Structure 1
Amino acid sequence: MSPSSSKRTSTASNGIDKLDYRPPHSPRRPLLQPDAESDSNRHSQSTSYAGSFFEQVAEGIMERDRDRLQRQVVRWLSFVWAIVNCLCAGSITAYSLYGHLFQSRLHYTQFQVNIVSISAELGMYLPVPAFGYLCDRLGPGVPSFLSGILFGLGYLLAAFAYHSGPPPSAGGHGWPFAVMVLAFVGVGMGTSCMYLSAVTTCAKNFGRGNAKGIALAVPIAAFGLSGMWQSQVGSRLLYEQNTDGSRGDVDVFRFFLFLGITLLVVGFVGTVTLRIVDEEELIDDAVEELERSGLLAQDEFFTRAASIHGYGTMETRDLSDSTFDFLQSEAERLKSHAEEEARKKTWLLNEETRRYLTDSTMWWLAAGFFLVTGPGEAFINNLGTIIGTLSPPHTSATTSPATHVSIVAITSTVARLVTGTLSDILAPIAPAYQHHRGPESVENSFASLPPRPRRFTVSRITFLLTFAFILSLGQLLLASGVVQNHPARFAAVSALIGAGYGAVFSLTPIVVSVVWGVENFGTNWGILAMTPAAGATLWGAIYAAVYQRGTESGESSMGKRPDDVLCYGKQCYAPTFWAMAVCVWVACGLWIYAWRGPVGWKRRGIAV
């Protein structure tokens, strides 16, 4: 080996050879610079990771916003269709439009006319707890679908029963009287289903905010309007022509067909449009609040859930062995979670029902509601026959049932909207889940502290008492006899009773939602709403008995034909309405006791 070679080898092993140095413009210098490229790749990769992270964050935000927007759309679409449901559901309030025709065309007695209306009332109110149960457990779509079927069958059956003529019991050859009764039982049940599905939807979707009053008042007001527009359609579009070509009474057969078809369609559409939004969150919050309140000892619900279902656990196996095993275990976990959520909901609703039924103030509220709504229902159902008693027989009428059905509907609607809005503005603000406060709850410990300065407030019970008194003024006005032979004055009676009745029906469910919450609203309100059935039955029978006795005495018996079943004079209604006014005053006393009594809401710190 030459010395030069040996030297190069030694240099290569110990230092940098001169050939390793390449000037900047040397042709032997590499065109690509590995070090710079490596740094660039690392920077690009870091930028890619950062970009991917922020893209995922942005996509997550967009997905969350889309989901929130979708929930809001569903919430408001449900609210709109709930109003449509209520705008159609109150067809029974137009009963006075054709009730008197059952007397004159089918030769029903006043008792039979009242039996038909009472049958509808019983069908409307007695099954309400069952329909409320369906709303709470299965959602409002199921009762809405059921209402369409009940309305369709009920009105179609009533239409053909009317078209057949007087029943055999009245000397005719038409369908038996029992068929008409059965038809109106279906109409009443359909009314309850459609109304409750709409109101429950609004209560649960908006009941946790500060606008619960108006959220309930709007659909309830729409229910009051339904009788007005339907009676106007019947009297102005679906009417019979007199021999001189003028407009006569409503064509009952066509009117019933119109109602049956319309309500069938509305109920079916409500099946897919009425939805409860974020119900799982509502249930979870309520259960958590019950746990914190001290009303559930020793973690009752979750202890039992863990021991029975193993909540929160997964089957132990090696998921990497098989994709199928992994998917199967995930499916089992999701199924177990869904079952646990369903059981949690069932348990909570059952517990809420138990607490509601064992609360004595609920029974005082229900008793007052019974004493007020019964007279109101009896007045609305017998508007047509009451108007007939105001003028001498065989004289031309200066007013019509359709006019007063509209007056009642308008004043009722205005009262519902006004009381719902004012209760939101002026009523004391109810803390969330105040009905779950127990003796050991944190919230209850602050009750003894001096209250903070508050704005001017008016309790919802004050509104309730005020409008109940207004209702009694209408009853007193009619009972006094100042309307007799002056049918034009009857508008004041209709307006006063309509306003009072509408406000009571608007405020009472709001009170239920405030005092006992919205988690079990359908069942709670359904139980309370049974009472008007008994009230309507009682006062309908009392009115019919007084009316029937009036036809056999006084002015009514003078020059009367043997087959005449109509009554004329103050004796036909005055005793009934004196008694009704007294009952309303008794109801006000019961409500005051539930509010300010020894175990009343005020003593319990419930802001109502």
Structure 2
Amino acid sequence: MTTPSNSDQSLAPLLRTPSSSTLGSPSSQTSLSDASDPKLRQKRRALRAIAFFVSIIAALCAGSITVFSLYGHLFQSRLHYTQFQINGIASAMSLSMYIPVPVIGYMCDRVGPGPLSFLASVLLGGGYGLAAGLYQKGLEEASNGGKNGRTTFPPMVFAFVAIGVGTSCMYLGAITTCAKNFGKSKYRGLMMVAPIASFGLGGMVLSQIGSRILYETQPDGARGDVNVFHFFLFLCIVLAILGLIGTFTLRIIDEDDLIDEAVEELERSGLLEGSEIFRRRANRDYGTIDAVDDDAGVMDPARDDDDEVDNALLKKTWLLNAETRRFLTDHTMWWFAVGFWLIIGPGEAFINNLGTVIGTLYSPNTRTNETSPATHVSIMATVSTVARLLAASLSDLLSPSPHSQHVQTGFPTSLPQLRQKLSVSRIVLFVAAAAIMSIGTLVLASGVVQEHGERFWIVSGSIGAGYGAVFSLTPIIITMIWGVENFGTNFGIVALSPALGSTMWGLIYSAVYQVGARDSPSLAEGADDDDVFCFGKQCYSSTFWAMTVCIWIGSVMVLWAWKGRDGWSKRGIVI
């Protein structure tokens, strides 16, 4: 990023009035008078608290998407889906959760999180309801000799696509609400990560509900696998109701003030001179009598003083569009996004395939010490939640922070607040989390857990901790560098990467699994090719070696965005 020239900086005083922004509106004076009203302050605190509480619960229930491994293996054993079909469902769910995120984030920034919550209610309720019906139909087909879910598989993919999109709407609406409502808080990182941690905790809570309450009873009365039909119906009802509640309670408080402050911050940095809007305003401040086009009032929000609402909406749209362009043209964002993709993809694939990975640890003849997928879904969810909260807390307590919640320019206005002597960059925390995650993939790739399921907690714990911390620090880094006012759009663009990573590694894992299954005991015993299961180290080892190297490469790319050529450190960005 280049520093404005002296001539450009000389124009800065012409771009603002002593009292407010050149794009300012009467809302700033109104907000000052409102601030002195104790009843209004109390009402706003109450609205923030309600929005925060609903965001936490919404994110918790949206975590249902992370428990796919709780029932994914039952699609294979009960419905006779192949490993490729199971990964096809998981990949479709992951893609539908992440691919629309830029559009969903764009909508959230412009229309608010309430309408997105309503959309989530429809999609999640309908998706899980449809999946419940299809699973029941698939059981009937399988009992009649049906193979590979010929009639249930395509609509099952559609159901999980709806679940993925609905989860994205609910999840992004929750974290955007917290990011914007608590941007000025001393612990803004922790407040924003609270719904992210709740999302991870949702996996543990819902997996325990499924395995301990909504379970199948075996003939001897013992507890069996989760009852998938009942579990899907439970999620259908809960998520539909919660989405409707969020429609009325998820909102951004004092959003007009947030936009006004962001505009003033950009004016102080001298980044608005290139805009036709501000050049015209500067000329008008000089007292020039240049002719102005008739449509100038449409281009310049400050000209529309008679309609405050339209003025505020136009100003908001202009600011968000400008910040989106700024975000997309920042080369460090692309280094960071690709690095995030390389790191988070293996974690996503592991979560989706945890059940089948555990199934490869023992042959059919030696299953006495087998561990359960539900146990490790809970381990991952618990460790991930702790890691998210710990990473956010360390970020707030140890890392330097800019003086405001808006986009950083690298100019003196972005100087950090004073901190204690000990200071640790958020990038150091990010890379450390990736290293912890690579320990889990490395241990699994080495084969030391084969025939030793009691050691698998090392894998699920390490990957869960690293995955949770990386996912926690990523939105914090985005808000610290590029501000909160356009957070939904910015985070949505970066969040495309997990979908690509999950799909790529899911396909690689499936291919290695299918090849390894050829030498598994099931084929030797004359089993049907459609029901082949893979047992042994050959089912996963090469995949997780490659994942480990991938995580290391991604870490180097993030470090380059920080310390490399024209990186954040050299530009004076506080991170």
With the shorter chain as reference, the TM-score category is: 0.7 to 0.9
Paired residues of 1:142 and 1:271 also in contact (CA < 8 A): yes
The separation in 2 between residues aligned to 1:453 and 1:423, in whole angstroms, is 12
Structure-2 change in CA distance of 1:379 and 1:296 (3 Å): same
- The alpha carbon displacement at 1:435 in A equals 3.2
- Indicate the residue corresponding to 1:122 in structure 2: 95
Residue aligned with 1:249, SS: strand
Output the CA distance in 2 between the equivalents of 1:193 and 1:245: 40
Matching of residue 293 in structure 1 with residue 269 in structure 2: yes
Which residue does the alignment assign to 2:61? 88
Amino acid at match of 1:104: S
Q: Would the aligned equivalents of 1:595 and 1:602 in 2 still touch at CA under 8 Å?
A: yes
DSSP 3-state at the match of 1:390: coil
| Percent identical residues | 54
The code of the aligned residue for 1:419 comes to A
Task: Report the counterpart of residue 320 of structure 2 in structure 1.
Answer: 349
Pair 1:527-2:493 in alignment:
yes
CA distance in 1, matches of 2:429, 2:302: 48
Report the 3-state secondary structure (helix = DSSP H, G, I; strand = E; otherwise coil) of the residue aligned with 2:224: strand
Partner of 1:596: 563
Matches within 5 A, 1:455-494: 455-494=421-460
**Cα 1:127–1:207 shift into 2, 3 Å:** same
CA shift, 1:303, in A, is: 5.8
Cα separation, 2, equivalents of 1:103 and 1:163: 14
What residue number does 2:257 align with? Answer: 281
Q: 2:311 aligns with which of 340, 360, 379?
A: 340
The residue correspondences of 1:97-108 to structure 2 (distance < 5 A) are 97-108=70-81
In structure 2, distance between residues paired with 1:267 and 1:173:
31
Deviation at 1:356, TM superposition (A): 0.3
Q: CA-to-partner distance for each residue in 1:306-357, whole Å, 9 max, x for gaps?
A: 931586779xxxxxxxxxxxxxxxxxx65x2210110000000000000000
Q: Secondary structure at the match of 1:248?
A: strand
Q: How does 1:22-421 map to 2 (within 5 A)?
A: 64-165=37-138, 170-171=146-147, 175-297=151-273, 300-302=276-278, 307-309=296-298, 336-394=307-365, 395-396=367-368, 398-421=370-393
What is the Cα deviation at residue 289 of structure 1?
A: 1.6
CA distance 1:170–1:431, shift in 2 (3 Å): farther
Distance 1:554 1:173, change over 3 A: closer
Distance of 2:422 and 2:465 partners within structure 1: 25
- CA-CA distance at 1:227 after TM superposition: 1.0
Q: 5+ residue gaps in structure 1? A: 1-59, 315-332
> RMSD of the alignment, in Å?
2.3
Q: Does the CA contact (< 8 Å) of 1:165 and 1:172 recur in 2?
A: no
Pick the aligned partner of 1:443 from 395, 400, 413. 413
Residues 311, 95 of structure 1: CA spacing in aligned structure 2 closer, same or farther, 3 A cutoff? closer
Instruction: Using the TM superposition, give the Cα deviation of residue 302 of structure 1 relative to its aligned residue in structure 2, in angstroms.
Output: 4.8
User: What is the TM-score normalised by the length of structure 1?
Assistant: 0.82
Query: 1:548 aligned to 504, 514, 529, which one?
Result: 514
**Alignment check: 8 A CA contact 2:35 2:41 kept:** no
In 2, Cα distance between equivalents of 1:216 and 1:425? 15
Correspondence for 2:292: none
- Residues 556 and 569 in structure 1, CA contact (< 8 A), matched pair in contact too: no
1:202 aligned partner, one-letter code: C
Larger radius of gyration: 1
Assess if the C-alpha contact under 8 Å between 2:513 and 2:540 holds in 1: yes
The code of the aligned residue for 2:320 comes to L
Contact 2:369 2:454 in 1 (8 A): no
Partner Cα separation in structure 2 for residue 377 and residue 260 of structure 1 = 23
1:408 corresponds to which letter in structure 2?
A: M
**Aligned counterpart, 2:394:** 422
